[in-house]
């Protein structure tokens, strides 16, 4: 997935992409490991804005993922709609003489490009990975698993005895109750 700068006419270009999950190596690896699995197609809308030699990319991702709930461990379908922004700058040639320590483009969150061509594969893949929730939930009221027997509390009721959590601050709750 590449774009040559000569295609950005008038300083701006809007592009639509429809990609398969298999186009992104890291997504293939995650799906093979049983983690998040993107379904095809992954739809991208990218707006390229040229400002001198710097290119700002404003993007929007729409995709469907199969995720594992972080509470009940059930699989569920997740509709992803995420906006992002990327900034590409020309790659600076390294010189042997460096009088001061400068921050590299990637340390500033900038993505270097060379030969008037943007390589979009890895920056877009990174955005796809960042868009996946860290602790996905199948629903806002997911009850999770029973800590005693492991039953899915969303579908079954278990007869396990609920142990009272022994908190060091439990005494404070008792004092508050006496003050009321």
Q: What is the pLDDT of residues 118-128, one digit of tens each?
A: 999 999 999 99
Of 24-28, 31-35, 136-140, 151-155, give the lowest mean pLDDT range.
31-35
> For the CA atoms of the chain, what is the radius of gyration?
24
Residues 48-78 pLDDT 10s: 999 888 999 999 999 999 999 999 999 999 9
Whose tokens are 């707006």? That residue is 47
Task: Yes or no: say if 88 and 114 are a contact pair by the CB < 8 Å rule.
Answer: no
Whether pLDDT at 107 is above 60 = no
CA count, 13 A, side-chain hemisphere, 49: 8
Segments making up each domain of the chain, as ranges: 2-142, 143-180
pLDDT at 141: 94
Taking residues 132-157, what's their average pLDDT? 92
Q: What share of the chain is helix, strand, coil (3-state, %, to 5)?
A: 25, 35, 40
């Amino acid at each position: 997935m590449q774009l040559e700068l000569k295609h950005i006419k008038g300083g701006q270009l809007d592009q639509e992409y429809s990609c398969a999950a298999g186009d992104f190596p890291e997504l293939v690896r995650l799906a093979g490991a049983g983690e998040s699995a993107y379904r095809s197609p992954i739809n991208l809308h990218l707006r390229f804005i040229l400002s001198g030699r710097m290119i700002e990319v404003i993007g929007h991702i729409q995709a469907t993922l199969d995720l594992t709930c972080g509470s009940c461990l059930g699989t569920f379908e997740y509709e992803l709609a995420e906006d992002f922004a990327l900034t590409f700058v020309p790659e600076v040639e390294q010189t042997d003489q460096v009088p001061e320590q400068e921050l590299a483009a990637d340390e500033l969150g900038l993505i270097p490009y060379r030969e008037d061509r943007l390589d979009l594969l890895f920056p877009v893949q990174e955005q796809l990975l960042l868009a996946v929730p860290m602790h996905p939930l199948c629903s806002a009221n997911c009850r999770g698993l029973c800590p005693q027997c492991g039953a899915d509390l969303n579908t079954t009721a278990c007869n396990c005895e609920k142990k009272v959590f022994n908190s060091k601050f439990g005494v404070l709750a008792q004092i508050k109750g006496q003050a009321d």
